[in-house]
Structure 1
Amino acid sequence: MDFFTAQEHARRKTWHLVVLLVLAVLALIVVTSLAISIALHLMNGGQSGAQTSLSTQGMWSALSVELIAGVAIAVLAVVVLGGLFKQRQLSGGGRAVAEALGGREINLNTHDADERRILNVVEEMAIASGTSVPSVYVVEEESINAFAAGHQPNNAVIGITRGTIRNLTREELQGVVAHEFSHILHGDMRLNIRLVSVLHGILLIGLLGGMLLRSMRFRRVGGNKRDNSAAVILGLGAALMVVGYAGTFFGNLIKSAVSRQREYLADASAVQFTRNPHGIGNALVKIGSHTQGSYLKAPQAAEFSHLFFGQGIKLGFTRMMATHPPLKNRIQRVMPDWDGRFEVRWPPQHNDHDAHGSVDSEGGSDDRSDAKLSRGTLTAVLTAASAQTAINAIGQPSQRHFAQARATIEALPERIRTAAHEPYTARALIYALLLSDEHSVREQQLEALQQIALPDVYRALMDIGPEVLRLNIELRLPLVELALPALKSLSVKQAQHFRLCMERLINADGHVSLFEWTLYQLLLNNLGEKNSGLSHLKLSDLQPECQRLLNVLAAAGQDNSDEISAALNAAESELPFALSAIDEVSDMQALSLAVERLRRLKPLHKPVLLQAMARCIEHSGHIRPAEAELFRVMADILDCPMPPLLSDEL
């Protein structure tokens, strides 16, 4: 399944979830109505002095349209309000989930070798797949498990247990992380966190029932024979238990039905990403051989069990409630030659990690020759095939992309790489990227920035800025991607001040360049300040917006009107409408408005626009850096994570 089909499939799964929710709510209304009718029947029997019995006729006589309507309103109110409450709790995205499970965000400049290793794997995976580098949380449990959580890729986090990073080799960690990135790329993560909110409303009925049932222990039952309250209490207690069990049953059934098949797909994607079935396969074998398996002790583990890499909670009497397929089945699918025994060689303590994770104590998939081969492509000319290859790799990065990502990280000077991991210096790096090559303009920018920037950040800019200005142009976007986790840790007030400083730098000369616009949009898109709304528009609804974007893209790589027209003609061959040249191509505000509308394209309409963009930039036979940057940033804005563009030299 390709990326765009997977996104559409995830949208349809959301509607299936709504149908299942409606059925569950109807079932709860029926159960609750019957329970209340039994209670009313018992109460009426006690008040009239007649012998109390649970006859079918008596129960039906207690039912009425008013009773059923009242129960329906009450159940719907609890489900809706409970879901909205949980949605508000999880509004922080993946961070809220990780913290609810007791996770601690790993310091980006940690000196712990195991933590440094997992950060390196996540950074490489993110840059190779074209996604925003997520924050990484460690859960201090000895079991082997992990999860990805968030509403969007730009607020996703990777959570991982201490047992995972301590017991798995680098290639096994790559398999686990690739599995979690599959959930991010294919829309599962968003579906899973919606599922938590939806099911909380259903489960809340059971929780309320349990609370009421426990409160009845403190009620005294009188000895009056005409007082039938004891039977009523028992009836209500039993009814509440039934309602509570029904809510839990339907909630878990929905969660399990949605989750199991997605785990098989994520396992297959992990093998496809890494080209190494033994990475994820051996990680699963180690779960089977580990004393604590993949079970988590966190109090809220059951609520988030469908997010985990492995079965996070122990099952009861049936596998119907399992959120994950059987471990043996998962292993046999990725490693058909597995002998069926949970016997693995546990790694020794990792003592020979280098500072940047390019070497693992056991070798694994960290091939130096791949990294060395890719390093030469950092300055290579991108050909016409590069854009098409990148589109085909959306959601499906290859081993070449991982080698390129590793080489890119290694090509960054160590001082700059370290600076990207700290909030103060990360801001200084972004400011340095926005500085003009022209001395007079740069002096204007620095003068404007000095008036409002934090003194420590400004000093860091003056210290590291010259080194950033000397970077190869191909390293600019990867540097921004590495800095994103540090920038996401800024408070709301700090983020607003950071945005103000960027705007002051951009507007210092009264002109917004294409690179300045591109960098600004990339940061806004990944720092959670943009909301695309519903993806419901067709490409035919957005002809003016497509025309403006493609005109800007054509002008970014061509020097004369004839070449711009040729680029537009090439793009037009992929579109259902004609294109024409427009005036004021340099109007970045108009481009921003156009992009806002383009963000709302339906998933299956996005690849058509990307193909048109690829035709536009590749028609001359080679792709310039400005074209490549805008191409990838637009893919990011469209929520289509595009891997790095590769040359044909590999």
Structure 2
Amino acid sequence: MASGVQIPCVFILDEEEGLNAFAAGFSPNEAVIGVTSGCVKTLTRDELAGVIAHEFSHILNGDMRLNIRLTGVLHGILVIALLGYTLIRSGIYSRSSGSRDGGGKIAIIFLGLFLMLIGYIGVFFAKLIKSAVSRQREYLADAAAVQFTRNPLGIANALKKIGGFIGGSRIQNARAEEMSHFFFANGMRSSFTYLMSTHPPLVERIQRIDPSFDGDFTKAPKSGKPDTGGRAGISGFAGEASIRANSEDIVSQVGTLSTENLEYASKLMDSLPQELKDATRTGVGSRAAIYAFLLSEDEKIREIQIQYLAHYGDPEVYGKTIQIEKAAENLSVEFRLPLSDVAISALRHISEKQYHVFIKDVQYLVRADGKIDLFEYALHKMIFRHLKPVFERTKPAPVKYNNIHSVLSHCEVLLSCLAHRGTDKEEEKNSAFRLAAGKIEGGDALKLLETKNCGLSALDRSLGELASSAPKVKKKIFESCVTCVVADGWITLKESEVLRIIADSLDCPLPPVMPGKFAPAATA
């Protein structure tokens, strides 16, 4: 919740007794974390939290994509050497019928030797680069783990246990070397040289976190207790029309996780009803929470929705929905989307049959009153975006647009939608639109569209196309969107929800917008 990233699935490597872990995936919202059974059996809760926080840092910082690219580059260079080896074998074992053929065989063998030499030299230097990059990313992830958990002894003691454990962090799988740079600690035998190691020395990593460590791994580490300190009550949009914000601060939070974000998320979770928090941790409860959030305030429509769930929904989920209905109804609007985000993580573990029933139920509840409001649109889009790839095996959309000029028409729709939702005053709409368009190359040619052309369906179509843009293009688009939203120096609850939709669609993890100085409530 604090980072704006979906909670990753965690898998246990049952056959690995070494103390290790890794993160993998093409994007933060599709990531998984693997933990060895040795970690689960040996580490304390605080130590395991430190390891998971380390891996989550790799997810948040995009290290997974970098690791996959490094693996691809290494294999590509290795293919050159393998091609050379194949040519040598074909030259040696092929039959020749004369001196000309014999000369051809020699040429093929020498070509093979040349390719093998080039390939293996390339692999050697590529491994040096991979190891150097990996070591630096490990230091950064260790520091981030301390920041996330606020408990330096957690990750420090986990590293100490690895040093004193008989099996260390060794991974037994035969393909471990290819993915050695993915792991929390060195998964291979000690390298003959530091230059070829994908991880810094354990002692050095520990001393950066715990300077008092003397390098003696025989001393059993003591479990540390996180110092969470006192927690004040949550503040936010509740009872207020808007909060103070500026575009630079919001954009700088994309893909980051600060102590302030963690504190805010902790306070937010503490302020929620316990029965709703408990519900979002299970498949049944998560579906019930989503249903409860979609129940209409209109009593007649709500009754129709409840009757539908009673007749066509899962009986257990229906019962849970009725049980938490009142708590969901009393929950402040600004908490519903973040809590729904948490619920979606649990929904990844329901069955395929349950998923299809759930989607059908959600669509009915959304359309029951004949219209779709912003929250319903945001929730519906969030559900489809994160669950459809899991249950319908859809592939990630390929990059279609590598420059901003290819998507200017969609940017025009997106910025127009934001400008119209930000204010009712035409002068302020035009000012916000022009300011945002100025952030885009070629934006001077864009024009503010009429309100009738800026509905949720138009927004949805444009977001669908913009999601196929290259990362550098997405960054420019999101910066212009933020500029449009906070052009007046304030951000409303509805504007923050729209920003979360856009950020999620563009794979730009955005933490919840934290309140600063409050603006006075708007008057009619």
- TM exceeding 0.5: yes
Q: Please, which moves more after superposition, 152-161 or 412-421?
A: 152-161
Q: Give the Å deviation of 1:531.
A: 2.9
Q: Give the Å deviation of 1:175.
A: 4.0
1:27-73 per-residue CA deviation (whole Å, 9 max, x = no partner) reads xxxxxxxxxxxxxxxxxxxxxxxxxxxxxxxxxxxxxxxxxxxxxxx
Q: Give the Å deviation of 1:520.
A: 1.4
Task: State whether residues 441 and 509 of structure 1, in contact with CA within 8 Å, keep that contact through their aligned partners in structure 2.
Answer: yes
Q: Give the Å deviation of 1:560.
A: 4.6
Aligned pair partner of 2:58 in 183, 196, 209: 183
* Residues 295, 533 of structure 1: alpha-carbon distance in 2 compared, 3 angstrom cutoff: same
Residue 411 of structure 1 pairs with residue 271 of structure 2: yes
Residue 290 of structure 1 pairs with residue 165 of structure 2: yes
Give the match for residue 77 of structure 1.
none
Give the match for residue 504 of structure 1.
364
Q: Give, as a single letter, the amino acid of the residue that structure 1 aligns with 2:313.
A: A
Task: State whether residues 172 and 280 of structure 1, in contact with CA within 8 Å, keep that contact through their aligned partners in structure 2.
Answer: yes
Where 1:520 maps in the other structure, the secondary structure is helix
Find the aligned partners of 2:450 and 2:347 in 1 and give their Cα distance: 36
Task: State whether residues 273 and 398 of structure 1, in contact with CA within 8 Å, keep that contact through their aligned partners in structure 2.
Answer: no
Aligned pair partner of 1:158 in 12, 21, 33: 33
* Residues 323, 262 of structure 1: alpha-carbon distance in 2 compared, 3 angstrom cutoff: closer
Give the match for residue 522 of structure 1.
382
Give the match for residue 545 of structure 1.
410
Q: Give, as a single letter, the amino acid of the residue that structure 1 aligns with 2:465.
A: R
Q: Give the Å deviation of 1:634.
A: 1.2
Aligned pair partner of 1:368 in 229, 254, 261: 229
Give the match for residue 334 of structure 2.
474
Task: State whether residues 167 and 346 of structure 1, in contact with CA within 8 Å, keep that contact through their aligned partners in structure 2.
Answer: no
Task: State whether residues 157 and 221 of structure 2, in contact with CA within 8 Å, keep that contact through their aligned partners in structure 1.
Answer: no
Where 1:376 maps in the other structure, the secondary structure is coil
Give the match for residue 574 of structure 1.
439
Q: Give, as a single letter, the amino acid of the residue that structure 2 aligns with 1:534.
A: V
Find the aligned partners of 1:253 and 1:341 in 2 and give their Cα distance: 34
Q: Please, which moves more after superposition, 482-491 or 281-290?
A: 281-290
Task: State whether residues 273 and 396 of structure 1, in contact with CA within 8 Å, keep that contact through their aligned partners in structure 2.
Answer: no
Give the match for residue 555 of structure 1.
420
Where 1:160 maps in the other structure, the secondary structure is strand
Find the aligned partners of 1:633 and 1:447 in 2 and give their Cα distance: 30
Find the aligned partners of 1:344 and 1:568 in 2 and give their Cα distance: 63
Structure 2-normalised TM-score?
Answer: 0.78
Give the match for residue 146 of structure 1.
21
Q: Give the Å deviation of 1:164.
A: 3.6
Where 2:22 maps in the other structure, the secondary structure is strand
Q: Give the Å deviation of 1:134.
A: 0.9
Where 1:485 maps in the other structure, the secondary structure is helix
1:164-205 per-residue CA deviation (whole Å, 9 max, x = no partner) reads 4565566654543332123212332134346667878969x9
Unaligned runs of at least 5 residues, structure 1: 1-126, 210-242, 349-361
Task: State whether residues 377 and 646 of structure 1, in contact with CA within 8 Å, keep that contact through their aligned partners in structure 2.
Answer: yes
Give the match for residue 608 of structure 1.
476
Q: Please, which moves more after superposition, 413-422 or 285-294?
A: 285-294
* Residues 287, 585 of structure 1: alpha-carbon distance in 2 compared, 3 angstrom cutoff: farther
1:310-341 per-residue CA deviation (whole Å, 9 max, x = no partner) reads 01122464556533233344445556675444
Aligned pair partner of 2:183 in 277, 292, 308: 308
Q: Please, which moves more after superposition, 626-635 or 247-256?
A: 247-256
Find the aligned partners of 2:517 and 2:171 in 1 and give their Cα distance: 46
Give the match for residue 136 of structure 1.
10
Residue 638 of structure 1 pairs with residue 506 of structure 2: yes
Q: Give the Å deviation of 1:614.
A: 1.9
* Residues 179, 292 of structure 1: alpha-carbon distance in 2 compared, 3 angstrom cutoff: same
Residue 485 of structure 1 pairs with residue 345 of structure 2: yes
* Residues 426, 329 of structure 1: alpha-carbon distance in 2 compared, 3 angstrom cutoff: same
* Residues 538, 344 of structure 1: alpha-carbon distance in 2 compared, 3 angstrom cutoff: farther
* Residues 571, 445 of structure 1: alpha-carbon distance in 2 compared, 3 angstrom cutoff: farther
Aligned pair partner of 1:267 in 124, 139, 142: 139
How many positions carry a matched residue from both structures? 477
* Residues 409, 483 of structure 1: alpha-carbon distance in 2 compared, 3 angstrom cutoff: same
Find the aligned partners of 2:427 and 2:191 in 1 and give their Cα distance: 71
Unaligned runs of at least 5 residues, structure 2: 86-114, 519-524
Q: Give, as a single letter, the amino acid of the residue that structure 1 aligns with 2:9.
A: S
Largest Rg, 1 or 2: 1
Q: Give the Å deviation of 1:294.
A: 1.5
Give the match for residue 109 of structure 2.
none
Aligned pair partner of 2:497 in 629, 643, 647: 629
Task: State whether residues 244 and 517 of structure 2, in contact with CA within 8 Å, keep that contact through their aligned partners in structure 1.
Answer: no
1:509-530 per-residue CA deviation (whole Å, 9 max, x = no partner) reads 2322222111111122222257
Find the aligned partners of 1:549 and 1:592 in 2 and give their Cα distance: 9
Task: State whether residues 134 and 181 of structure 2, in contact with CA within 8 Å, keep that contact through their aligned partners in structure 1.
Answer: no
Aligned pair partner of 2:287 in 427, 436, 439: 427
Task: State whether residues 131 and 195 of structure 2, in contact with CA within 8 Å, keep that contact through their aligned partners in structure 1.
Answer: no
Find the aligned partners of 2:430 and 2:383 in 1 and give their Cα distance: 31
Q: Give the Å deviation of 1:402.
A: 0.9
Give the match for residue 617 of structure 1.
485
Where 2:232 maps in the other structure, the secondary structure is helix
Find the aligned partners of 2:468 and 2:299 in 1 and give their Cα distance: 40
Find the aligned partners of 2:63 and 2:127 in 1 and give their Cα distance: 12
> How much is the aligned-residue C-alpha RMSD, in angstroms?
3.8
Percent of aligned pairs with the same residue? 34
Where 2:344 maps in the other structure, the secondary structure is helix
Q: Give, as a single letter, the amino acid of the residue that structure 1 aligns with 2:478.
A: L
Task: State whether residues 273 and 399 of structure 1, in contact with CA within 8 Å, keep that contact through their aligned partners in structure 2.
Answer: no
Find the aligned partners of 1:609 and 1:195 in 2 and give their Cα distance: 28
Structure 1-normalised TM-score?
Answer: 0.64
Find the aligned partners of 1:244 and 1:459 in 2 and give their Cα distance: 67
Q: Give the Å deviation of 1:565.
A: 3.3
Where 1:304 maps in the other structure, the secondary structure is helix
Q: Give the Å deviation of 1:506.
A: 1.8
